[in-house]
Chain A
Amino acid sequence: MASEARSDLAPRRRIVFGEADVSDFDETNDLPVESMPLRMGPSHPAMHGTIRIELEVEGEKIKTSDIQIGYLHRCFEKECESATWTQVFPYTDRLNYVSPMLNNVGYALAVEKLLDIDKKIPERAQYIRVIVGEVSRVADHLTCLGASAMELGAFTVFFYLIKAREWLWELLEEISGARLTHSYVRIGGVVADMPDGWASRLLDVLGKARTALGDADKLLTNNKIFRDRMDGVGIIAKEDAAGWGLTGPVARSTGLAYDVRKDHPYLVYDRFDFDVPVGTTGDNFDRYAVRMEEIFQSMRILEQALDKIPAGPILIDDVRVALPAKRETYNTIEAMIAHFKLIMDGIHVPPGEVYSFTEGGNGELGFYLVSDGTGRPWKCRVRPPCFANLAILDKVLPGLFIADVVPTFGMINMIGGECDR
């Protein structure tokens, strides 16, 4: 219908919300610009993670935002106090449930430091910890990239990357017995050695994952739709990253080259050659690019580790820390007592406190533990990386459009299990 015809109609009704001042109206767009509350979550189809974001929008523009977390709170820290030191492992699986191995390793290292056995962990165990940890990191980043791409409409990419993640998780299932909740690491080492042929299967999978990543790269990196929604959106300044305590890919996207593996090497990370990719602008695309590159760097570490891994035991030789072999337990009173005490009382960790931190999937994963000399943690506090990373969202979101929430939140990669504990 021609526009002239419309001029014949009665003047269009002006919609007034509440007690809005007439001067609030933008005459050119004829849109009401009075702010409106908008609640995203806790269940939202385009957000992976149970979280509620309370937005105040003016039209499509976000004026303020309020991040409300806690929907996945499970009293993790309190629960640890009634579990033996070893029984905490299954709980850590459920922190960042996309990369449980990294949590297992981080917790084990903290307890080992408290026990003062961190220098006595068999080398093979340390290599295996690096390997399963890096496999987990790759899986973590694949999930983040795949899911975020899907939320922006790139469903194919999601399938490619999640397929690659599934190959990796099948390998982790093979080594630990569980696809997701591995509980594979033990204080003093790991529970089982790599199965026969596991290393070569891992190399095969890495090759296939590279192909999948190449496909995803072709589909995304120079894709106009994808770039439009990522470039220049959700910019975080380098100073803010440092000031807000951001770590991991989110911090590195701003140019802050902080990686615990490089800056405070643990396990045997100082023996591997790998780079820490950093971004320049700190926008969503940088976070995407940093994660993409980190996957390749993790693969580099994996290849070197599989190449260098020595033979030897996988668990410390100390019956006060690690369970003796079943053959010993059933046939000697010494091992029987050790088994009994470890199971019923728990490992006797000397009184003291420790803060131990590792590079988790989302950044610095810290464990602050206090022991009172009994077989249970007196206090177990977690520094979840995505808790700090998420906090800056309140600062980033205002000024963006509603549609920007999805990629920005996606690239922060909040994991409820870890953030809410």
Chain B
Amino acid sequence: MAAPTEPQELVTVIIDGKEHKVPKGTNLLEVCRSVGSDVPYFCYHKGLSSPAVCRQCLVDVKGAPKPVPSCYTAVADKMEVTTNSPKILDIRRQMLEFTLLNHPIDCPICDKAGECSLQKHYFDWDGKLARNEGIKVRKAKVVDLGKHIVLDQERCILCTRCIRVCDEVAKQSELTMAYRGSHEVLTTAPGHRLDNPYSLNTVDVCPVGALTSKDFRFARRAWELSSVPSVCPGCATGCNIEIHATRGKIHRLVPRENLAVNKFWMCDEGRFEYKAVHENRLLLATMGGKRAGLDVAVAESARLLREAVAKDPGKVGVVFSAMATNEDTHALVRLALDGLKIGRAYLGGKPSGWSDKILVSSDKNPNTVGVERIVPPPLRPLKELASDVASGAVTALLVLGNETLTLDKSKLSALVVLSSHQGLLVEAAHVALPIATWAESHGSFTNRDGRVQQIHAAFPPRGEGMPAWRAAALLGSKLSVDLAYASAAEVFADASARYPFLKELAWATPSKPVQLRFGDSRG
């Protein structure tokens, strides 16, 4: 990555006749775009180094003998830049003509169509019909490049962004260019594959449809998808993502720029977090493993809990989940600890896994920090629960989350589970209530650095599912615990008045899904 220049003194540059004051050494391309002089590019990427190979961003600098690539030029004092002279526009058009010379006529079957930089730049800057009648150079069409990636060498415009992603982000140099001229192709070393934990970022940075994700290939046309900003639930890093979904089904997760967290990237593992949203879901309330009406199930859970608490609240346990949002956790604290005075709190969640120094955390839960800050100690580890049940220290349980636990049910007078998914615990439960997943709820996660980040629902919960805070409020209404929340925003407002780490944080209006066809090109 280009060494970030410390903003020092301001210099004066003249761009298309207008004076601007910018920090010395800023990238000229960024300056031009920030002041409204649109300069197109293929090879440049904010998070990567600039090789200046695509020649799309050429601009005229007064005094320079020939046009300079703005992505490779730092601003200097008194620089006079022209981005839209007839000569520059002509160069831009001619470079596009070269780029299109051997490009296959693939738009109707190309995954990138609709969010393709080449389409966008041709339409914005070229708009001339083909002049050559020659036969295009043929290259390999379906190259199995790696575990997740398929390469179409004909579509590749040789910008080398993907090579730099591997070199600079994943720190594993796996891709390279081979051959020369119109026969130049992107490839791996013979016998090697593109196989690093960040390989799918190459698909995101690819300005055309050369690199496609096997998972998303031919799944949906890009413009049919609607985008919602969210946060990856895959680990404690909390990479900012966009959920791309249509008609209640997620088709892909892509990283969203956040320089403080994930910059422009996310790991491959995180991208497949969406699959669980659609698999093995608990959609309807059950009692003893059988379908029950939601009202009946809520009333029964309330009765079981009331009786258990009446007997001895110290022997009732509540399991929190490091997968749940701050809002869900707070509502459960209000219900179980404040309201019912339940004595024992446990923390569940996914087990730890691998990590690296780039993005991946070993804690595979998105909100461990948040739950630990919200739930008053002692918060016992989940592994103590089975023995506590066996020993009779816990005789009734309220569980949030889809825990894989085997409990001695004969020792439990009540097992009420709030879960988004089917599982052993749901089957064993006296009552199980369906809960919304992260993709269906508004809320916030606190990542490993204590950064609170908001997530947004991509679509309403399926079936009878509801956010856990609403389930807590429903139970509260039957158990004379006043939790009259109408929205996640209200839970957040209540929580932020109580916990220092949520103080002075603003709750943004929930984002509505935006159809990608109305957005700009993501290329």
CB-CB under 8 A for A334 and B107, given A340-B113, A340-B119, A341-B119: no
CB-CB under 8 A for A319 and B127, given A330-B105, A337-B119: yes
Quick check: is A29 within 8 A (CB to CB) of the other chain? no
Quick check: is A26 within 8 A (CB to CB) of the other chain? no
Quick check: is A35 within 8 A (CB to CB) of the other chain? no
Secondary structure of the A contact surface, majority rule: helix
Quick check: is B194 within 8 A (CB to CB) of the other chain? no
Q: How far is the CA of A344 from the CA of B223 in the complex (A)?
A: 8
Residues on A with C-beta less than 8 A from B120 are 341
CB pair A335 B129 closer than 8 Å: yes
Cβ-defined partner of B123 (8 Å) among A328, A332, A337: A337
CB pair A340 B126 closer than 8 Å: no
Interface centre among B108, B114, B118, B119 (most CB of A within 10 A): B119
Closest to A340 in B: B107
CB-CB under 8 A for A333 and B104, given A341-B123, A344-B517: yes
Residues on A with C-beta less than 8 A from B103 are 333
Closest to B124 in A: A348
CB-CB under 8 A for A333 and B129, given A338-B123, A344-B114, A344-B517: no
Q: How far is the CA of A337 from the CA of B112 in the complex (A)?
A: 12
CB pair B107 A332 closer than 8 Å: no
Residues on A with C-beta less than 8 A from B130 are 328, 332-335
CB pair A320 B127 closer than 8 Å: yes
CB-CB under 8 A for A318 and B127, given A340-B107, A340-B119, A374-B518: yes
Q: How far is the CA of A396 from the CA of B105 in the complex (A)?
A: 64
Q: How far is the CA of A319 from the CA of B128 in the complex (A)?
A: 7
Give B109-125 as 1s and 0s: 1 = Cβ < 8 Å from A's Cβ atoms.
00001100011101110
Quick check: is B100 within 8 A (CB to CB) of the other chain? yes
Q: How far is the CA of A53 from the CA of B309 in the complex (A)?
A: 71
Quick check: is A324 within 8 A (CB to CB) of the other chain? yes
Q: How far is the CA of A324 from the CA of B128 in the complex (A)?
A: 10
Quick check: is A331 within 8 A (CB to CB) of the other chain? yes
CB pair B517 A334 closer than 8 Å: no
Closest to B223 in A: A344
* Size of interface on B: residues with Cβ below 8 Å to A: 22
CB pair B114 A334 closer than 8 Å: no
Residues on A with C-beta less than 8 A from B124 are 348
CB pair A331 B518 closer than 8 Å: no
Q: How far is the CA of A330 from the CA of B100 in the complex (A)?
A: 15
CB-CB under 8 A for A336 and B107, given A341-B119, A344-B517, A374-B518: yes
Quick check: is A345 within 8 A (CB to CB) of the other chain? yes
Q: Whole-angstrom distance from the CB of A84 to the nearest CB of chain B? A: 10
Residues on B with C-beta less than 8 A from A337 are 100, 107, 118-119, 122-123
Q: How far is the CA of A362 from the CA of B103 in the complex (A)?
A: 52
A342-381 with Cβ < 8 A to chain B = 344-345, 348, 374
Q: How far is the CA of A374 from the CA of B123 in the complex (A)?
A: 13
B79-104 with Cβ < 8 A to chain A = 100, 103-104
Q: Whole-angstrom distance from the CB of A213 to the nearest CB of chain B? A: 48
B468-523 with Cβ < 8 A to chain A = 517-518
Interface centre among A318, A334, A344 (most CB of B within 10 A): A334
Closest to B96 in A: A334
Q: How far is the CA of A319 from the CA of B122 in the complex (A)?
A: 11
Closest to B127 in A: A320
Residues on B with C-beta less than 8 A from A333 are 100, 103-105, 107, 130
CB pair B100 A334 closer than 8 Å: yes
CB-CB under 8 A for A332 and B105, given A320-B123, A338-B123, A348-B123: yes
Q: How far is the CA of A200 from the CA of B127 in the complex (A)?
A: 38
CB pair A328 B129 closer than 8 Å: yes
Q: Whole-angstrom distance from the CB of A86 to the nearest CB of chain B? A: 15
Q: How far is the CA of A161 from the CA of B129 in the complex (A)?
A: 48
Top-10 shortest CB links A-B: A332-B130, A341-B123, A333-B103, A334-B130, A340-B107, A320-B127, A337-B122, A337-B119, A336-B105, A333-B105
Q: Spell out A's residues near B (CB within 8 Å).
A: 318-320, 324, 328, 330-338, 340-341, 344-345, 348, 374
Given A335-B129, A341-B122, A348-B123, list of 17 further CB < 8 A pairs? A319-B128, A328-B130, A330-B105, A334-B100, A334-B126, A334-B130, A336-B105, A336-B107, A336-B108, A337-B119, A338-B127, A340-B107, A340-B114, A341-B123, A344-B113, A344-B223, A345-B123
